[in-house]
Amino acid sequence: MIGSAIVVAAPPAVALDNGLAQTPAMGFNNWNSTHCRAEFSEQMVRGIADLFVSRGLKDAGYNYVNIDDCWAEPTRDGSGNLVPNRTRFPNGIKAVADYVHGKGLKFGLYTSAGTKTCDTQGFPGGIGHERQDANLFASWGVDYLKYDNCGDHLGQSAQQRYTAMRDALVATGRPILFSICEWGSNSPWDWAQPVGNSWRTTDDIQDNYGSMLNIFKSNVQRSTDSQRGAWNDPDMLEVGNGGMTDTEYRSHFTLWSMMNAPLLIGSDLRTASAATYAILTNRDVIALDQDSLGVQGTEIGNANGLHVLTKPLDNGDVAVALFNENGSAATISTTVAAAGIGNATSYRLTDLWSKAVTTTSGTITASVPAHGTVVYRVARTGTFSTPPAGTTQASALRPSLAGNAWGPVETDRSNGEKAGGDGRTLTIGGTTYARGIGVHARSEVRYYLGGRCTSFQAWVGLDDEVGDNGTVTMEVWGSGRQLANSGVVRGADGAKRVTADVTGQQYVNLAVLPTADGARYDHADWADATFTCA
């Protein structure tokens, strides 16, 4: 058997290492409500900052007050500096940023990775001026930059243009969240994790149900590409802008939260209805978006427009969203096992919109109105089973949480495709294993040990079913603490040995994280994975 010893080491820095966006950004951006109309002004921005505090949005987690295109004059000044529009921002941008900071909030700005911004008036873009503009933004107190994709690209690739601004922002020494906005045109999910804190995955959202639905269907396919500090961005919220019903806006807000989207309010809060505020401040739904495990929800079913999404959460619960895309009410059902939660005799379902609480031994079901979404937080209750004394294969235990980005976690098989049981014999570097589990990054499999076990051991690697493809790290976590780390594992590598002292742990998480190198096919095996218990 091919193998090598494992040292516990810090995980590699794969996401942009600026410490920001450890959960998706939350805040406001004026674009969806104002575009370049005259009401986009200093007065509006101050009004929004005031409401963030007075109406509880700040308390609910919203902290960035961002402005979009059309904040600048059409030409740079004699020194080449951008100039704030004299009518909209007569006191300059720094005065606005200071006001926002005075409320304990953060301030964001916009420009473009080309010669012009995107509005038809075409304000000056950042290409060739990255250092000068980044320094100016930092001197104004900017905390967030949205970098669009319009104007001439001067022959540079998207990766070059966005990396140049990333480097300029880092060089300022000010922490500035970097939001890439190239609409998914250059497959940013393949390269943007070390470049930006988020990247748009689609064209612009419009304030109608069809647009929201199309963006959801595209972005939900990208669940394997996001991670802490580096998120898919299906564009800003339209909640409250009037083009959808409140039922549709609740679906929009729920689906964006299930997909770990940045939650940027796009309606004018100065005139927003009570219903809009109620949607935007649903803390139970926000908690899904902001969950510290940072795993984007995946779709486990979408038969005839009846969508089932599941999302593992840091405390061992899972969120399950049942979204009815169609124009008439329907019953949507799944099970706790399909949703990736197990090892208990009963489960508590909390409906995060109605707040109704029910229990189930396995079935999760709801009558869902046309275009509506029912979302549950599913928690284990009742009796948990713990592993027997001696050494037990992980694949013989029922995990308490089984999050996997490509179909279900497989038992004694490789991950295969998205159906259950469609993998092959676990094989790493030519060696086969009869027992173990087959997963796909990003994956989190949790076992309830109840403090009864002492050690975990496994052979780990990428399964030969994907050839030499894939690059991941495989990590063993106890309560809030990393217990072992494989280091970077590549498709061509032989199996590595991972061992972890799990003494006293209530549970152990086996995590597989993608790395940001654009490699795909992250089919990982925890082969001959065993727990030794008292």
Smallest gap from residue 237 Cβ to ligand GLA (A): 12
- Residue of 204, 314, 351, 517 marked active site: 204
Nearer to ligand GLA, 148 or 248 (CB): 148
Nearer to ligand GLA, 82 or 118 (CB): 118
Smallest gap from residue 109 Cβ to ligand GLA (A): 11
Place of tokens 């978006």: 289
Smallest gap from residue 210 Cβ to ligand GLA (A): 18
Element housing 46 (H / E): helix 42-54
Element housing 295 (H / E): none
Tokens matching residue 254? 């729920």
Query: Are the beta carbons of 142 and 179 closer than 8 angstroms?
Result: no
Nearer to ligand GLA, 264 or 319 (CB): 264
- Residue of 68, 148, 412, 493 marked active site: 148
Those residues whose C-beta lies under 8 Å from the C-beta of residue 456, and which sit 6 or more positions away, are: 394, 476, 483, 484, 498, 499, 500, 502, 508, 529, 530, 531, 532
Catalytic residue flag (residue 148)? yes
Select from 468, 470, 398, 464 the least CA-distant residue to 425: 464
Nearer to ligand GLA, 31 or 199 (CB): 31
CA atoms within 13 A on the CB side of 282: 24
Q: How far apart are CA 3 and CA 493, in angstroms?
A: 9
Site of interaction with ligand GLA (CB under 6 A):
31, 68-69, 117-119, 148, 181, 183, 204
Q: Which residue is nearest to ligand GLA (CB)?
A: 118
Tokens matching residue 207? 């304030």
Smallest gap from residue 142 Cβ to ligand GLA (A): 16
Query: Are the beta carbons of 207 and 47 closer than 8 angstroms?
Result: no
Smallest gap from residue 90 Cβ to ligand GLA (A): 22
Smallest gap from residue 112 Cβ to ligand GLA (A): 8
Read off the amino acid at residue 218. Answer: S
Query: Are the beta carbons of 533 and 31 closer than 8 angstroms?
Result: no
Kindly give the residue spans of alpha helices, DSSP state H, lying in 90-191.
Answer: 92-102, 130-140, 158-172
Kindly give the residue spans of alpha helices, DSSP state H, lying in 322-403.
Answer: 336-339
Task: Provide the 8-state DSSP code for 10.
Answer: P
C-alpha pair distances (Å), 19 with each of 182, 186, 228, 329: 23, 25, 10, 44
- Chain centroid to Cα 134, Å, comes to 26
Those residues whose C-beta lies under 8 Å from the C-beta of residue 37, and which sit 6 or more positions away, are: none
Smallest gap from residue 268 Cβ to ligand GLA (A): 16
Long-range pairs for 295-298: beta carbons < 8 A, 24 or more residues apart: 295/260, 295/403, 295/442, 295/444, 296/222, 296/223, 296/226, 296/231, 296/232, 296/258, 296/259, 296/260, 296/442, 297/220, 297/223, 297/258, 297/259, 297/260, 297/321, 298/220, 298/223, 298/403, 298/404, 298/405
* Active-site residue set: 148, 204
